[in-house]
Amino acid sequence: MYYESSDFLETADSDTLKQIARTRELTRKYYFSDYGDTEKRTSILRELLGGIGKNSVIGAGSVVTRPIPPNCVAVGNPCRVIRYFDTGRERWQHEV
């Protein structure tokens, strides 16, 4: 699925940040798995491979520098997983 932002999305290409303000047209295509979610002011590096996994949530102000696995909550700068949903136990677990 394509990522569309009703507020804005910051993308990073090496040292340069480009802000795309209130638009549905992106300079590049961003692929997110179904049901992925990002909060406001989340930055995603253009070189990001693998995307954001299904059912994952990215916290506000996070800078995503690497692929995020499915079924998790990730936050920070750089973004890291802080909890994940254990599908076998059907409950949230803290990342170790």
Q: Find the CATH number of the domain harbouring 56.
A: 2.160.10.10
What is the residue range of 18's domain? 8-94
How far apart are the C-alpha atoms of 93 and 9, rounded to whole Å? 29
pLDDT digits (tens, 9 = 90+) for 29-88: 444 444 444 545 555 655 555 578 888 888 877 888 888 888 888 888 888 999 988 888
Specify if 1 maps to a domain: no
List pLDDT tens digits, range 10-22: 444 433 333 333 3
53 within a domain of the structure (yes/no): yes
> Is residue 46 domain-resident?
yes
Q: Is 2 within the bounds of a domain?
A: no
Contact 95, 81 (CB under 8 A): yes
Whether 88 is in a domain gets the answer yes
Does residue 42 form part of some domain? yes
Per the structure, the count of domains in the chain is 1
Mean pLDDT of 81-96: 83
> 3 in a domain, yes or no?
no
Residue 33 within any structural domain of the chain: yes
In angstroms, the CA 93 to CA 82 distance is 9
